[in-house]
Structure 1
Amino acid sequence: DNSATSLSPSVAYVALPTDSDYTMQEFRWHQPWLTMHLVLPTALMQFMGDLSKPRGKNELDLLYGLLKLCQEKEDLRDEVYCQAIKQVTGHPRPKLCTRGWRFLSLLTGCVPPSNTLMPYVTKFLQDWGPHQELAQSSQEHLQRTVKYGGRRRLPSPGEMQAFLKGQVVHLVLIHLPGGVDYKTNIRTFTVAAEVLEELCRQMGITDPQEVQEFALFLIKGDSELVRPLWPQEYLNSVLGGPDVSLHSRRLGWETRLHFDNPTYISTHYSQVLRDYLQGKLGLSPQEDTRLARLAALQQLSRNKEEPPSEQDLLAYLPRKPQWQQQWQMNVATVKSLMGRELRQLQGYSSQEAQISFISGSGLPLFGFTVYPVQRVSSPALPSPGLLGLNRQHLVLVDPSSQELCCSIALRDLQRLHLLSPLEPEGSPGLELNYGSADNPQTIWFELPQVGGLRVP
């Protein structure tokens, strides 16, 4: 049905102290200055409903004020934590107590307490966990905050209202190569890394190193904005607006590929195929034999064994890239050779053809994320060209000859700087400083897609 099934979200916990002697009473006995402030508990009690709200302020105003204060004033966070815990401990009115717990659940997802207070808060949440569902979610939120830094952009008013009503889960679609839509539920404090781990599990990927080779991409409108999300980004902070969509693709190819999962095979095939047809993998149009074999594998991947017409064959061949000036392909020769390839590959299943296309293509820039280069600062290097990036190297390849013209090890990269377009209608640039202190070097590339570039 062209969709993958979601797993329940899980949190990769980090170790927090849980000594049984950590009680909030003991902490406050050692920190008597916390009892001297009155403004914060008043605002919290007004939000919960224990006190009447100030004129002109609603519950969201009070809530935003408290959370924003905690983000801006680190030295007040412990007091807010202590006041929140005090308010939910033994509160006689269950409805108002629940509002206090919801505030605590938001607080733990946005900012952490100090290292001094952390074990006391952790112990308090653990003690209440079996009796209060919001204590469990608060503990999960605190674990995320410790690991990922907390949600720096506060939830929107609409999201905040939904959270206060207990509506914390909503469905999102992640578009995978090949037209597969992966459905999953995210929560107020779900981060990109968690969704990627879940998505990879659906493809049979359990190696943490391989998981790191995938990324989520945010696309606004018709590819108006394309950028990868960092693992620690909170998804609800970036998924605002109806014209924003979430996509996933593989960025790194260092981990050995394995073809033991149908979704893994189909998504990898679709990604490699798309780059190939766009002319991004460095294959010369004069390589008739390789073009014929790759065309035959595409035909077999569709469960078709008969040779296609010359017109249909064109859909299997790379299109002339915009940056490529000379592009002449002998389609009749490729079609003739393709017939021979189909006879040799007779009996291949669709999956076997896709696997062979991925692993046996021998394409020069396979395993690299590729960007077209319009101009290069060095006249000795080809312009236009293809810039390839993986976790070890940045390379420049001549698209006509497939010759490797430049290779820079990422360990030698000292600085990467985005440049403004040379002309009002021109493309932005990328300046690289690399080499040693004794032999510093600089090179720049004019890249139409520089906005989507991420160095691993």
Structure 2
Amino acid sequence: MGDHPSKRAAGRIANELTDQIFEPPLRTELLRDEIFCQIIKQLTDNRNRLSEERGWELMWLVTGCFAPSTNLLKEVMHFLGSRRNQIAHDCVQRLQKTLRNGTRKYPPHQVEVEAIQHKTTQILHKVYFPDDSDEAFEVESSTRAKDFCLNIANKLGLKSHEGFSLFVKISDKVISVPEGDFFFDFVRHLIDWIRKARATRDGPTPQFTYQVFFMKKLWTNLIPGKDMNADLIFHYHQELPKLLRGYHKCSREEAVRLAALIYRVKFGEDKTGLVNLVKMLRELIPADLTKAQSPDDWKRGILSQYNADAGMTQDNAKIEFLKVIYLWPTFGSAFFEVKQTTDSSYPEILLIAINKNGVNLIHPQTKDILATHPFTKISNWSSGNTYFHMTIGNLLRGSKLLCETSLGYKMDDLLTSYISLMLTNMNKPPGGRR
């Protein structure tokens, strides 16, 4: 609050002092009343305007983190209600939300601290979408990921938010936010975790920026054309890169059909780019099929199909694209290239596709599905920085799949999320991981 001289004001990050104030009471419930009492004491008859302003900033932050005990709540509410400034009114509302939604796990995020320091109690957060658009959404200290997802889905006019998730991209990782977590808690935890992992012994503490994405995560109950907004913003743009990387088993005829649709999505009825079609093949044809025939043969086939679709809108081309790949057993998959050594009948480098049908093991060259393990048959799984392990069938007599991969955390998270959703839909409380 500025009442005590500080030697290190310059260069200090916004939440360095608030961490010192809020970390102990978040760990020890008895200290929470003490924090409220100290702030109220310093806000009473404080004749220093700057000190008082900072005191209200602290009160605003604390009311979004935790509530006082039942014994003290009435006194805190009385104090806040007796003050005539706008922040006191905001604090009452924040405290009511905290009582409803529960206590945070981590101290305020830097974004929250900087917001109140700049005299704004509304925090707008930019969210990016797969179609390269973005939009700002209001996020509160008490906003959980599920509420955030619902808010975005409503604003975008999606028919359902089931299967959608927030993802935080930080450094070289993209991590899904668990729907029950407070949004700012998760981001705070993630940054702290990566900072500790990357910290140099004597160097400066690295600063990390992050981006928030909203994407389809679990591809269940999805029929192309049923939810146009979801198809146009998410499904098409998320499925296109997987096709072009050559992860699906795709015939030449299907590749030609899809390439004509991809071109139409990009350019509509504008035919001027067709002369450069051969140079664009990488953006139109799956990587594993480009050499299946000559560039001129590809061009002839794509031109013919494009002309046959004359009059189709760019939006309808996206839907038609989805309708073709929807019929494939690998539609809506998250793909992982892993190295396995447990089963000599499988190739050492294996493509794993996790989708609504379960965990699919795919031959990386032929794209044939070698095995599909439904979620009901998977009894155990674990992951680390370099591996993903899974047990199929009985824990004692079941078979194991041991994979080397740096994306084990993503496989683990997807498997957990699909199984949790499956159990929820069976009207059973989702069980914890074994």
Residues 1:256 and 2:219 aligned together? no
- Structure 2 unmatched runs, 5+: 192-205, 418-434
Residues 1:70 and 2:25 aligned together? yes
The Cα of 1:295 is off from its aligned counterpart by 0.9
- CA distance, structure 1, for counterparts of residue 16 and residue 292 of structure 2: 66
For residues 277-426 of structure 1, what are the structure 2 equivalents within 5 Å? 277-280=244-247, 282-284=248-250, 287-301=251-265, 302-304=267-269, 309-320=277-288, 328-331=291-294, 332-361=296-325, 362-390=327-355, 393-419=358-384
- CA distance, structure 1, for counterparts of residue 130 and residue 406 of structure 2: 22
Residues 1:204 and 2:171 aligned together? no
- CA distance, structure 2, for counterparts of residue 125 and residue 409 of structure 1: 57
The residue that corresponds to 2:176 in the other structure is 228
Counterpart of 1:182 in structure 2: which amino acid? Answer: E
> Which region of structure 1 is more displaced relative to structure 2, 116-125 or 67-76?
116-125
Counterpart of 1:377 in structure 2: which amino acid? Answer: T
Residues 1:152 and 2:106 aligned together? yes
The Cα of 1:377 is off from its aligned counterpart by 2.0
The Cα of 1:266 is off from its aligned counterpart by 3.8
3-state secondary structure, aligned to 1:360: helix
- CA distance, structure 2, for counterparts of residue 131 and residue 55 of structure 1: 28
- CA distance, structure 1, for counterparts of residue 332 and residue 306 of structure 2: 26
The residue that corresponds to 1:107 in the other structure is 62
Residues 1:443 and 2:401 aligned together? yes
| 2:259–2:302 contact (8 Å) kept in structure 1 | yes
Change beyond 3 A, Cα 1:256–1:161: closer
The Cα of 1:370 is off from its aligned counterpart by 1.4
Counterpart of 1:176 in structure 2: which amino acid? Answer: F
| 1:416–1:432 contact (8 Å) kept in structure 2 | yes
User: What RMSD, in angstroms, separates the aligned Cα atoms of the two structures?
Assistant: 4.0
| 1:299–1:305 contact (8 Å) kept in structure 2 | no
Q: TM-score, normalised by structure 1?
A: 0.69
Counterpart of 1:441 in structure 2: which amino acid? Answer: S
- Out of 164, 168, 175, the position equivalent to 2:128 is 175
The Cα of 1:107 is off from its aligned counterpart by 1.6
3-state secondary structure, aligned to 2:90: helix
The Cα of 1:77 is off from its aligned counterpart by 1.8
The Cα of 1:378 is off from its aligned counterpart by 1.3
Change beyond 3 A, Cα 1:196–1:376: farther
4+ residue runs over 6 A deviation: 54-62, 128-131
The Cα of 1:298 is off from its aligned counterpart by 1.2
The residue that corresponds to 1:269 in the other structure is 236
- CA distance, structure 2, for counterparts of residue 206 and residue 81 of structure 1: 43
The Cα of 1:338 is off from its aligned counterpart by 3.1
| 2:236–2:318 contact (8 Å) kept in structure 1 | yes
Counterpart of 2:158 in structure 1: which amino acid? Answer: I
The higher relative CO (CA closer than 8 Å, separation ≥ 6) is in 1
- CA distance, structure 2, for counterparts of residue 128 and residue 357 of structure 1: 62
- CA distance, structure 1, for counterparts of residue 398 and residue 41 of structure 2: 59
Counterpart of 1:379 in structure 2: which amino acid? Answer: S
| 1:109–1:144 contact (8 Å) kept in structure 2 | yes
- Structure 1 unmatched runs, 5+: 1-46, 321-325, 421-427
The Cα of 1:139 is off from its aligned counterpart by 3.0
| 1:412–1:434 contact (8 Å) kept in structure 2 | yes
3-state secondary structure, aligned to 1:378: coil
Q: Which has the larger radius of gyration?
A: 1
3-state secondary structure, aligned to 2:232: helix
Change beyond 3 A, Cα 1:389–1:217: farther
The Cα of 1:271 is off from its aligned counterpart by 1.6
The residue that corresponds to 1:42 in the other structure is none
3-state secondary structure, aligned to 1:304: coil
Aligned residues: 384
Change beyond 3 A, Cα 1:345–1:245: same
> Residues 80-131 of structure 1, C-alpha deviation per residue, up to 9 Å, x if partnerless?
335545766x7575946654443232222223444x4597479659956997
The residue that corresponds to 1:215 in the other structure is 166
> Residues 272-314 of structure 1, C-alpha deviation per residue, up to 9 Å, x if partnerless?
111211123x124xx1111111011112222137566434344
| 1:392–1:411 contact (8 Å) kept in structure 2 | no
- CA distance, structure 1, for counterparts of residue 279 and residue 338 of structure 2: 31
| 2:80–2:91 contact (8 Å) kept in structure 1 | no
- CA distance, structure 2, for counterparts of residue 206 and residue 120 of structure 1: 42
Residues 1:140 and 2:108 aligned together? no
| 2:63–2:91 contact (8 Å) kept in structure 1 | no
> Which region of structure 1 is more displaced relative to structure 2, 386-395 or 233-242?
233-242
- CA distance, structure 2, for counterparts of residue 137 and residue 271 of structure 1: 41
Counterpart of 2:256 in structure 1: which amino acid? Answer: A
| 1:217–1:227 contact (8 Å) kept in structure 2 | yes
Change beyond 3 A, Cα 1:243–1:108: closer
Counterpart of 2:354 in structure 1: which amino acid? Answer: L
How many percent of aligned residue pairs carry the same amino acid?
Answer: 18
> Residues 113-165 of structure 1, C-alpha deviation per residue, up to 9 Å, x if partnerless?
44x45974796599569974444345336625753641514445x96465345
The Cα of 1:365 is off from its aligned counterpart by 1.4
